[in-house]
Each structure stands twice: as structure tokens, then as C-alpha cells.
């Protein structure tokens, strides 16, 4: 039986748990038991997990404990439970890519990021639910704050599992807004690093120029710790390259040399913002005073939405064609439409989209010559009702197209207490500065809330 003390371990920061696990004050088996207990209590109503192998997870945890007790070196994520989005291959658990076409599919080997997690000592708790082929058609996952609402997509299960306290860390992916949006809707931290920083080998491919691995946690430091471990290069992913590793956790916890400067950007799609979200962002900007300027993106950034769609759907047509051929009516109408649209994209349209991607990246870089981060909504407002779909990703489109690192923080709520995500965007390859700025902002808001109460 899991006592309340063990169960409450999951409410501690992952960085603190890491220290307790390393010292032996907490065992990996104890923490894994607590995670499995929470899953058994909560996942029936939320549906964050597709596959959990209790005995395998416990055997992995016991192996971690035995290694520590033997005096062998332990990894930077020793004993920490992690959930894996179900488009990321795992040799010991099914990977079904959110479609019945891949039902009971069992990969022959782990994805690169799963290999890295195991080498770092993490315990893979299970596979988290995703939308169909990581696009729009939802799984059954519900928002832990209000089960009548969506958790967002496509990394729906990963965000919901962390938000419900079923595990402290999870991995997802983003091709448009699939990390940032569900993190915002579920009220957790979501971090999408710079494009190409984390290898995608062994992950369902949608668009080579957009797909990015991201992470979910309950604090900036916890997200930084997980992403730091996953960064690297792999020949199987040509978007990656050998580069000095970014000390993300140390950067996140460091003090800024001066107060960070923010560029408040409501995006070309700002008309979609709900009144509550618009008012909350205005109040947040006002609280930052002279450290925050309203910045309008040039009109050319409107081209980002068409360019992104063409790169994404052309990628669908190439990478997911086999699902259209094998579908036998098992693909949703929306997915079939996306594949058909991608097949109709002409070469000159694709090349023009590539040119816009490069031009907009250059334009975005100029903002970071003056500002530490862009401050912008993560979504139009709170999570929509479940029947209305997984939400609008367009507040993430520009940053995803440009490959910029982005992070959402659970800093705002509406009158019902539902989360409103605050998205921060940083300069390409400057993930450390973004993490440091995000942690500064989170602490500032936390201190302000404590003073107010």
C-alpha cells in the first residue's frame, strides 16, 4: 500500500527528487510505486495513458536502485518517472501513433530520446495518448482541471499526465503547437527547444523542417533538467549537428545580469484572443513596466501561416502516405483531407515557403538584438470544450516555422480558475537565455502573488 507520504513525493520538484534519489533518501521503486498509484487513481477519468506495464516499470526502478546501491555511477535522471508520447518508439511498449492502423505495433528498438532517457537512469512509466498521427483528431484524453474540456493536442496525454500529478516529467513533440498549446491548457510548463537540438530518430515523421521534440514539467528548472539530458546529435536526424551542450539547468537557475526586456507580441492572429486572455496579458505587461514594450510584427509575418501549412502538409503527403494507402477507412476525414492537400502542393509553392521561412527567421532575429524574449499568448484563451476539438495552434505557428525555442508558463487564470498560458519565445540556439528569462518571470509573478495574499 502506498502511504500518503510516498504518494506526496510526486508533488515535489523533479530537481529536488533527483537529489533525494541520488542520496538514497528516496528509492526509485518507491517513487515509481507512487506514480503507478496516482495513475490507478486518476487516469480512469483523464485517459492520459495508452499503455502502462506496471511490472516492467517496477523492474526498471529496482534495477536503478541496485545500481546506486552497488556504488556504480548513476545518471542525471536517476529514478525519475517519465511518460513518452505514443509516436515515440519504445521497444518494451507498443507505439501505435494514435491510429488503429498501427494497433499493437511493437518497434524493434527505442527511439534516440528513449535510449538517452534510459541511459540517464529515468524510469519509463508508460506511453501517453496522442491525436491521430499527431494531427487534430483527438484521443479520449480529458483536461485534469475540467474533464469537460480538451487537454489540447497532439501531446495531449503527456501534458495531462503531468498536470494531474501522475508523473513529474513527460516527453512530447511539436510540429505546430503540440507542446505549447496542451501545456497552456493543462497549466504546466511546456518547453520546445530550438529546432534540431534534440534528435528525432525513431519518432513518427510529419515534417522534416518543423518536427521538434519538447518536454513537460511543473517548473522551468524541471523542464530544463529534462531537455538538457535529451539534447545531442545523431546521424539518423540530419537536422542535428555536433555542438557544445547547453547547460540548461544552470542557465535556468542563474540570475540575469540585468532585468530581462520583453517584447509583448499578440501575433497577427490577435483577433482570436478571448477578452479574458487579452485582459490578462495587458495586466501582465503592465506589471512588467518599463521592462516590457508592445511590439508589432511587420505585415510580412502573415505569410508565416501559409508557408507553415505548405511545409507541414507536403511533409504529411510524403511521410504519412502509407497510412492513406493502408487506411481502409480507418483514417479520419480531416487526416485524409490533409494528405490530399499535401499531395496537391506544387514544387514552386514549397520552395516559396522555404524562402519565407528563411526571411522570417532573419526578421525575428532582429527582435532579440534588443529583447531577451517575446511575450505572447500560447493559445486564444482557456481550453475549449472537448467536443470543440483540441484548440487553435496558430499562436505557435510563427515560432515553430522559424525554429525558435519557446516555453509556456502557467502564470494566468480566468475567472473560473482555468489556466491561460503565457508563451515566451527566444532567439534561435539561445535556449539558455530563454530559460533564464522564463525562470525570472515565473519567480517574479510568484513573489507578486505571495505579496498580494
**Residues with catalytic roles:** 85, 154, 178
All three cell numbers of 126: 508508460
Side-chain half-sphere CA neighbours of 292 within 13 A: 18
CA 125 from centroid of its chain's CA atoms: 17
Q: Which residues contact 360 (CB under 8 A, 6 or more apart)?
A: 300, 301, 303, 304, 307, 398, 401, 402
Q: Which residues contact 128 (CB under 8 A, 6 or more apart)?
A: 48, 49, 50, 83, 84, 85, 86, 155, 156, 157, 158, 160, 161, 170, 172
Burial 163-175 (b: 16+ CB within 10 A, else e): bbbbbbbbbbbbb
Q: Are strands 189-192 and 49-52 parallel, antiparallel or unpaired?
A: unpaired
Q: How far apart are CA 7 and CA 34, in angstroms?
A: 5
Among 336, 360, 383, 329, residue whose Cα is nearest residue 143:
383
Q: Are strands 419-425 and 406-413 parallel, antiparallel or unpaired?
A: antiparallel
| Helix pair 303-319, 347-367: axis angle to 10 deg | 130
Among 154, 230, 195, 181, residue whose Cα is nearest residue 311:
195
Q: Can you tell me whether residue 136 is helix, strand or coil?
A: coil
Question: Cell 508565416 maps to which residue?
Answer: 304
All three cell numbers of 241: 549537428
Q: Can you tell me whether residue 378 is helix, strand or coil?
A: coil
Phi, psi values for residue 262, rounded to 5° = -115, 140
Q: Which residues contact 240 (CB under 8 A, 6 or more apart)?
A: 196, 197, 198, 199, 232, 233, 234
Q: How far apart are CA 82 and CA 125, in angstroms?
A: 6
Amino acid at each position: 500500500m502506498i502511504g500518503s507520504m510516498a504518494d506526496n513525493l510526486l508533488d515535489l520538484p523533479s530537481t529536488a527528487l533527483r537529489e533525494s534519489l541520488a542520496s538514497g533518501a528516496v528509492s526509485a521503486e518507491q517513487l515509481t510505486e507512487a506514480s503507478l498509484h496516482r495513475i490507478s487513481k486518476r487516469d480512469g477519468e483523464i485517459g492520459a495513458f495508452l499503455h502502462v506495464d506496471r511490472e516492467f516499470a517496477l523492474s526498471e526502478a529496482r534495477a536503478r536502485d541496485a545500481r546506486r546501491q552497488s556504488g556504480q555511477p548513476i545518471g542525471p535522471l536517476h529514478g525519475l518517472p517519465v511518460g513518452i508520447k505514443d509516436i515515440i518508439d519504445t521497444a518494451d511498449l507498443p507505439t501505435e501513433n494514435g491510429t488503429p492502423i498501427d494497433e499493437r505495433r511493437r518497434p524493434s528498438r527505442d527511439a534516440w530520446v528513449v535510449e538517452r532517457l534510459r541511459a540517464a537512469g529515468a524510469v519509463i512509466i508508460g506511453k501517453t495518448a496522442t491525436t491521430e498521427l499527431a494531427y487534430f483528431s483527438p484521443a479520449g484524453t480529458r483536461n485534469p482541471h475540467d474533464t469537460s474540456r480538451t487537454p489540447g493536442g497532439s501531446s495531449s496525454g503527456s501534458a495531462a499526465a503531468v498536470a494531474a500529478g501522475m508523473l513529474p516529467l513527460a516527453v512530447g513533440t511539436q510540429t505546430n503547437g503540440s507542446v505549447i498549446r496542451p501545456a497552456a491548457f493543462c497549466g504546466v510548463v511546456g518547453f520546445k527547444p530550438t529546432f534540431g537540438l534534440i534528435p528525432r530518430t525513431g519518432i513518427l515523421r510529419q515534417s522534416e523542417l518543423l518536427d521538434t521534440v519538447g518536454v513537460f514539467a511543473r517548473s522551468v528548472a524541471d523542464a530544463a533538467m529534462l531537455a538538457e539530458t535529451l539534447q545531442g546529435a545523431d546521424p539518423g536526424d540530419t537536422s542535428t549537428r555536433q555542438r557544445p551542450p547547453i547547460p540548461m539547468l544552470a542557465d535556468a537557475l542563474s540570475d540575469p545580469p540585468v532585468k530581462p526586456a520583453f517584447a509583448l507580441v499578440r501575433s497577427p492572429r490577435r483577433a482570436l484572443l478571448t477578452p479574458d486572455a487579452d485582459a490578462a496579458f495587458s495586466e501582465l505587461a503592465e506589471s512588467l513596466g518599463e521592462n516590457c514594450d508592445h511590439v508589432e510584427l511587420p505585415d510580412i509575418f502573415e505569410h508565416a501561416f501559409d508557408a507553415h501549412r505548405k511545409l507541414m502538409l507536403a511533409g504529411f503527403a510524403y511521410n504519412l502516405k502509407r497510412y492513406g494507402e493502408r487506411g481502409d477507412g480507418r483514417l479520419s476525414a480531416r487526416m485524409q483531407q490533409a494528405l490530399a492537400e499535401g499531395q496537391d502542393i506544387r514544387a514552386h509553392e514549397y520552395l516559396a515557403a522555404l524562402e519565407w521561412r528563411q526571411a522570417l527567421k532573419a526578421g525575428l532575429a532582429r527582435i532579440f538584438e534588443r529583447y531577451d524574449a517575446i511575450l505572447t499568448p500560447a493559445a486564444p484563451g482557456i481550453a475549449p470544450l472537448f467536443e470543440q476539438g483540441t484548440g487553435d495552434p496558430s499562436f505557435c505557428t510563427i515560432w515553430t516555422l522559424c525554429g525558435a525555442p519557446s516555453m509556456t508558463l502557467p502564470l494566468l487564470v480566468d475567472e473560473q480558475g482555468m489556466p491561460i498560458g503565457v508563451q515566451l519565445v527566444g532567439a534561435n540556439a539561445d535556449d539558455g537565455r530563454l530559460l533564464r528569462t522564463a525562470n525570472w518571470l515565473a519567480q517574479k509573478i510568484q513573489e507578486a502573488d505571495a505579496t498580494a495574499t
